[in-house]
Amino acid sequence: MTEKIIPLADLRYLNKIPVIPARLEAPTGLLADTRARPLHDLRISITDRCNFRCVYCMPKEVFDKDYAFLPQSSLLSFEEITRITSLFVAHGVEKIRLTGGEPLLRKNVEKLIAMLSALRTPDGRELDLTLTTNGSLLARKAQALKDAGLKRVTVSLDALDDKVFKQMNDVDFAVSDVLEGIEAAHRVGLGPIKINMVVKGGMNDQEIVPMARHFKGSPYILRFIEYMDVGASNGWKMDEVIPSSEVIRRINAEMPLEAIAPNYVSETAGRWRYVDGGGEIGAISSVTQAFCSDCSRARLSTEGKLYTCLFATGGHDLRALMRGGNTDEEISTAIAHIWRARTDRYSELRTANTDGLQSERKVEMSYIGG
């Protein structure tokens, strides 16, 4: 008898194999959790690898050359991702975001996009299929992504100053290459393009106004994200968080802003537009203004673990069900059972003294995606 060896990298977080309820059910598209939050968005991490070592996500001192990334056999195949996504769509998911790591590092990602873009909601509508990227490979892949059926991209860019940006990405990658990728994506119609800047106090907060000034009047929507306590690798401290209110204050002092209404109820970013008509910006107040009450997002890790919160300490092993021979009806019922029991509200519970909440090991952003 051959003994099965399970790689340690596959056991990095606490996970449970979901229980299949005795009574199976057909999806209605109307799932809601214990706080009446619907299931609307699914974020799928398709790789835990990245070619950047951003200080707030994959710091080099942790994710070094000896770090054990997930083995290829652990990753969900494109067919498995499409299968599980179709079950989420039947439950009401309308927006899919591919993330990572850096999702464009996943070989033949265009094939997966084509497979997902063929899915339809129960009433026959196309999905809002998007992707978040650091932009390093975007210039060469933009056309193929568009041709495969991708709708939009969100690009991470944490500074315009090359020195500051290289300090943030820690791999000596230049701003100009990211800007080239953004322009390429715009040319092929992957828009509206959103640009995300994670603001870390004492490192890149001096870039807030220059970033706003640069993208004002452009076709792009710049969004500022408060530095978050995701995982345990980034050494998060509350005093390094620049509140969104301060971000808006700094920009408004030079380029007057006015608040505008959200696009939809569970939108994470507060919206502002320039009074002179120069476009809009967003602010994601993930620390200072919790938006747990409206959160409609589920997350699927690279190897098929379902997480119901970005700050979760454990997940639900859907891959085990798929590879264990369970039917779509059984897996769909398990998903419904998990979502209905969801109680997550980490950000609402967080305070400046986070020791109690941080005592348990939370899932890393590089593993689950932002």
pLDDT digits (tens, 9 = 90+) for 50-98: 999 988 888 898 889 888 899 999 999 999 999 999 999 999 999 999 9
pLDDT of residue 346: 67
CA distances from 228 to 116, 163, 170, 173, 315 (A): 30, 23, 19, 23, 20
pLDDT digits (tens, 9 = 90+) for 199-231: 999 999 999 999 999 999 999 999 999 987 665
In terms of DSSP bridges, do strands 280-284 and 305-307 run parallel, antiparallel, or are they unpaired?
A: unpaired
The Cα angle at residue 102 between residues 167 and 345, in degrees rounded to 5: 90
pLDDT of residue 12: 60
Other CB atoms within a 10 A radius of the CB of residue 34 amount to: 12
Per-residue tokens: 77: 């195949």
- 3-state helix, strand and coil shares in percent for the chain, rounded to the nearest 5: 35, 20, 50
Kindly list the domain boundaries of the chain, sorted by start residue. Answer: 8-368
What average pLDDT score do residues 266-285 get?
Answer: 91
Share of the chain above pLDDT 90, in %: 71
Per-residue tokens: 336: 């419904």
Per-residue tokens: 356: 């109690």
Fill in the DSSP letter of residue 71: P
- H-helix or E-strand containing 305? strand 305-307
| pLDDT at residue 10 tops 80 | no
Per-residue tokens: 194: 């959103």
Q: Which of 369, 370, 367 is nearest to 74 (CA)?
A: 367
pLDDT band for position 356 (50/70/90)?
Answer: very low
Question: Are residues 212 and 251 in contact, defined by beta-carbon separation less than 8 angstroms?
Answer: yes
The dihedrals phi and psi of 241, each to the nearest 5 degrees, come to: -85, 125
In terms of DSSP bridges, do strands 280-284 and 221-226 run parallel, antiparallel, or are they unpaired?
A: parallel
What residue type is assigned to position 101 of the chain? G
What average pLDDT score do residues 298-314 get?
Answer: 89
CATH superfamily of domain region 8-368: Aldolase class I (3.20.20.70)
Task: Specify the pTM.
Answer: 0.90
pLDDT band for position 361 (50/70/90)?
Answer: low
Q: How many CA atoms, within 13 angstroms, populate the side-chain half-sphere of residue 109?
A: 26
